[in-house]
């Protein structure tokens, strides 16, 4: 094959890719029109039976074109997820017009290229308005900016599939005067980053936020006697690696590129599938439509007597409310006392949820709703 033939083939591929983008944009526009009908007729945003039938039809047709089922399923699961989440965001926009503006000031941890910044872009890409980014050096600074009105929204990592819950954020939510209004899950791809030309064998110090250290513990242990230094954000870890000879930092490839670092090694996480879940907080709660999957998060402190927690949890079972997370944390200043963080698949506007929360008061010392918000953890239809 000549170079001219190769260039011609690449040109054809580029044209096909451009055509695919045009078609995807057209599909999204039509999807936006569909949600208008669903809003007017109070129909659920998601129709899983239709999704499954569509995938089966596409896989069957794709096979006749020489495409395998795994490939087709992966491509269209992504397209369907985008469609559902965009429709849900449009519904929420109609329900909360006062919360939508031409710009959103968003506070998050770190700076350019941080996982929090990438998650911020992912969440607000489905919502109208320009994002004004406000990088912060601590979780408390994020909530402080929201509480004071300097930021409209704050983004906080709450848990990771590898390292588990981020306790500092759970503790902060005990007293922060903010409401959870959204969530977003973002994939985490940790890399070892250093100045160009640095050899792995020459590195004697690694900078990272405590979470990346925890999520990459096996890789770190395998390096042997190398000094570890924690930083308050990945952005600061990257800056430290730039300023310190024979050092490296853990972060995303994009974050490293932004400050002049290159990837020494990728795929550092203990688990190949590494994802972080972030919550979005604001000063005031938002109303959530009953047409979309919804979560409600709350804090409760049970009475100091045997069976109190079990009694409280039985209330959710009685009202057929699915509990998806239960986390205990100590109460600062009160030794041996704990509060429980609970995530429910529930909408505060549902009567049975209101009844459950009223009954909960009888079995707890106090209960505080942290927020009711649109769930973005979509379960793909099984094939």
pLDDT band at 379 (very low <50, low <70, confident <90, very high): low
Q: Mean per-residue pLDDT for 333-346? A: 84
Pair 336, 351 in one domain: yes
Pair 90, 16 in one domain: yes
Pair 83, 102 in one domain: no
Is 106 inside any structural domain? yes
pLDDT at position 298 over 90: yes
Is 36 inside any structural domain? yes
pLDDT at position 130 over 70: yes
pLDDT in tens, 55-92: 999 999 999 999 999 999 999 998 998 888 888 888 88
pLDDT in tens, 176-185: 999 999 999 9
Q: Where is the domain boundary, 66, 95, 124?
A: 95
Q: Where is the domain boundary, 255, 282, 309?
A: 282
Is 77 inside any structural domain? yes
Pair 101, 179 in one domain: yes
Is 321 inside any structural domain? yes
The strand pairing partners of 248, in sequence order, are: 206
Pair 135, 76 in one domain: no
**Per-residue confidence (pLDDT) for residue 31, from 0 to 100:** 87
Is 288 inside any structural domain? no
Token output for 369: 């709703």
CATH number at residue 315: 3.30.70.260
Pair 148, 72 in one domain: no
How far is the C-alpha of 295 from the C-alpha of 350, rounded, in Å? 12
**Per-residue confidence (pLDDT) for residue 235, from 0 to 100:** 83
**Per-residue confidence (pLDDT) for residue 274, from 0 to 100:** 81
pLDDT at position 250 over 60: yes
How far is the C-alpha of 230 from the C-alpha of 73, rounded, in Å? 41
pLDDT at position 335 over 70: no
Coil, helix or strand for 233? coil
By residue range, what is the domain housing residue 199? 191-266
What is the pTM assigned to this prediction? 0.81
Pair 91, 101 in one domain: no
CATH number at residue 71: 1.20.59.10
CATH number at residue 176: 3.40.190.10
> How far is Cα of residue 53 from the mean position of the Cα atoms in its chain?
28
Any idea what the Cα angle at residue 114 is, between residues 282 and 129, rounded to 5°?
Answer: 45
Whole-number percent of the chain with pLDDT over 70: 97
**Per-residue confidence (pLDDT) for residue 4, from 0 to 100:** 85
Pair 218, 170 in one domain: no
pLDDT at position 331 over 80: no
The dihedral through the CA atoms of 230, 234, 238, 243 has a sign that is negative
Pair 198, 161 in one domain: no
Is 379 inside any structural domain? no
pLDDT in tens, 204-242: 999 998 888 988 999 988 888 889 999 888 888 999 999
Is 366 inside any structural domain? yes
Helices (H), the chain: 3-40, 48-64, 69-95, 115-124, 139-148, 167-172, 210-215, 217-222, 234-243, 253-258, 308-318, 351-360
Pair 127, 115 in one domain: yes
pLDDT in tens, 17-41: 999 999 999 999 998 888 888 888 8
Is 156 inside any structural domain? yes
- What is the domain count for the chain? 4
pLDDT in tens, 146-194: 999 999 999 999 998 878 889 999 999 989 999 999 999 988 888 999 9
Per-residue buried b or exposed e for 26-48, using 16+ beta carbons within 10 Å of the residue's own CB: eeeeebeeebeebbeeeeebbee
Pair 244, 326 in one domain: no
How far is the C-alpha of 251 from the C-alpha of 263, rounded, in Å? 9
Pair 84, 102 in one domain: no
Average pLDDT, the chain: 89
């Amino acid at each position: 094959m000549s170079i001219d033939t190769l260039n011609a083939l690449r040109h054809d591929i580029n044209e096909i890719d451009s055509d695919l983008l045009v078609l995807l944009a057209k599909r999204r526009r039509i999807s936006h029109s569909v949600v208008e009908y669903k809003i007017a007729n109070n129909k659920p945003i998601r129709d899983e039976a239709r999704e499954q039938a569509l995938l089966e039809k596409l896989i069957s047709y794709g096979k006749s074109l020489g495409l395998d089922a795994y490939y087709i399923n992966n491509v269209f699961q992504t397209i369907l997820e985008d469609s559902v989440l965009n429709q849900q965001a449009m519904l929420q926009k109609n329900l909360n017009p006062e919360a939508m503006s031409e710009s959103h000031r968003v506070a998050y941890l770190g700076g350019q290229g941080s996982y929090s910044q990438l998650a911020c872009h992912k969440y607000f890409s489905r919502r109208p308005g320009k994002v004004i980014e406000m990088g912060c050096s601590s979780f408390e600074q994020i909530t402080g900016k929201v509480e004071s009105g300097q930021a409209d929204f704050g983004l906080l990592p709450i848990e990771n599939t590898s390292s588990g819950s981020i306790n500092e954020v759970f503790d902060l939510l005990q007293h922060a005067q903010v409401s959870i209004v959204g969530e977003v899950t973002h994939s985490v791809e940790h890399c070892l980053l250093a100045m160009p030309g640095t050899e792995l064998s020459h590195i004697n110090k690694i900078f990272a936020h405590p979470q990346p250290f925890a999520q990459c513990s096996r890789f770190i242990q395998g390096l042997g006697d190398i000094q570890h230094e924690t930083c308050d954000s990945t952005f600061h870890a990257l800056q430290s690696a730039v300023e310190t000879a024979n050092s490296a930092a853990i972060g995303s490839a994009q974050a490293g590129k932004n400050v002049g670092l290159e990837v020494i090694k990728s795929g550092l996480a203990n688990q190949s599938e590494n994802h972080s879940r972030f919550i979005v907080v604001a000063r005031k709660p938002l109303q959530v439509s009953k047409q979309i999957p919804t979560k409600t998060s709350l804090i409760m402190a049970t009475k100091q007597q045997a069976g109190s927690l079990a009694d409280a949890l039985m209330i959710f079972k009685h009202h057929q409310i699915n509990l998806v997370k239960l986390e205990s944390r100590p109460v600062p200043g009160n030794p041996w006392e704990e509060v429980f963080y609970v995530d429910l698949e529930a909408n505060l506007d549902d009567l049975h949820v209101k009844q459950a929360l009223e009954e909960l008061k009888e079995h707890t010392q106090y209960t505080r709703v942290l927020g009711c918000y649109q769930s973005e953890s979509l379960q793909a239809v099984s094939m």
